[in-house]
Each structure stands twice: as C-alpha cells, then as structure tokens.
C-alpha cells in the first residue's frame, strides 16, 4: 500500500538530481524550480472546497515570471509553435474561487511542457478527479513531479526549456493521510 512516506521518497528521489533549484512558496502552491531545465522539479498544493468556484480565465492572460524575475525562467513565448502545451502543474480550476488565486497559477514556475494529448486528456481527468475528491472530502493534497529519464531531452524555445519525459501525480486526503491516487504518465 502506498502511503505518505512513499510519496516523500519519490520527492527525495526527484530532488536528488542536482542543478540549481529554487523553492518558490505562494499562498496558492509551492514549486521547487530547476533553473537548469527551466521546469519545476515538483509542485505541491492543497485543494479545499473553498478553493473551487466559478471564476474563469481571462483570454488576455499570459504566463508570467513575476516570482523569479532575476533568475533564468522559461517565457510564455518559449512554448509558441513548440508542439507542447504550457501544462499547469497546479491547475487554474483548482483556484477558481477568486481571480487573484486563479491568476497565480499562470506563473511559469508552475508550468512544464506537456504533449497536448496528455495535457488535454488523462492529465485533465486527474485534475477533475482531485477537485471532485476535494468537494467530497473537504481537502486533497496534490504533488506533481516532472520526470527526466537518463536519455536525450528535447528542448524548446529560445531559452531551451527541457521537456519532461514523464510526470507523476499523487493525491491524498490530509484528514486521514490516505492516498487516493498515484498516476504515472509518459509525456506523449
């Protein structure tokens, strides 16, 4: 049976890869950002019933770099015509109770290049599952880990943003410390 200890082991493994990493803590999510890959190593957040509302994205919103403006970070343009989506780790809909919270998810420290088929398909389904669980149980904690395998890594955009080979997402109920799902997706 998978438990929180297992998830911490996964996190430790993901962080042991080295590189210049920066921890970014916001009121809405926490990111450990890798300035070498220009991609998060992990993003964690809690979805509460009160976080889910009816706010919607504004069409003019672009992904920004307001949190690490003095360090190397991917840009909105790096993804343009790359063949990859700007995949939210902490999704905007998990912060739909207010526009400021939703807007915070458009920080590039919360984004990784995702194949459109993954981002718009199975990844989106896990996001909906986690929100439904938060509405049912009161709160869900979520961890996402972009995974880089020991092989060639595709890079996109003028800043050469690394494309993860895969992603792990884990979700558990903080009230009972019970894992409700662990998913592994190849990024294709």
**171 in Cβ contact with 133 (< 8 Å):** yes
DSSP E strand boundaries for the chain: 21-25, 30-34, 39-48, 85-88, 111-114, 139-147, 155-156, 161-162, 166-173, 178-186
82 phi and psi, to 5 degrees? -90, -20
Catalytic option among 88, 159, 160, 165: 88
Q: What is the number of residues in the chain? A: 188
Q: Is the dihedral of CA 61, 160, 23, 148 positive or negative?
A: positive
CA proximity to 159, closest of 67, 71, 46, 54? 71
88 flagged as catalytic: yes
CB 57 within 8 A of CB 102: yes
Give the chain's end-to-end CA distance (angstroms, integer).
Answer: 28
Active site residues: 88
């Amino acid at each position: 049976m998978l438990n929180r200890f297992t998830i911490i082991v996964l996190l430790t493994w993901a962080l042991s890869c080295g590189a210049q990493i920066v921890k970014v803590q916001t009121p809405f999510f926490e990111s450990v950002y890798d300035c070498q890959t220009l991609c998060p190593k992990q993003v964690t957040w809690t979805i509460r019933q009160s976080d889910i509302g009816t706010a919607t994205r504004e069409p003019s919103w672009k992904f920004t770099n307001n949190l690490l403006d003095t360090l190397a970070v991917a840009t909105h343009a790096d993804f343009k015509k790359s063949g990859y989506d700007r995949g939210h780790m902490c999704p905007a809909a998990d912060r739909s109770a207010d526009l400021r919270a939703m807007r915070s998810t458009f920080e590039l420290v919360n984004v990784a290049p995702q194949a459109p088929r993954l981002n718009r398909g199975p990844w989106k389904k896990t996001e909906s599952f986690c929100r439904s669980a938060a509405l049912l149980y009161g709160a869900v904690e979520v961890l996402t880990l972009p995974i880089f395998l020991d092989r060639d890594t595709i890079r996109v955009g003028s800043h050469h943003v690394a494309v993860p080979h895969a992603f792990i997402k884990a979700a558990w109920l903080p009230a009972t410390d019970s894992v409700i799902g662990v998913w592994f997706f190849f990024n294709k």
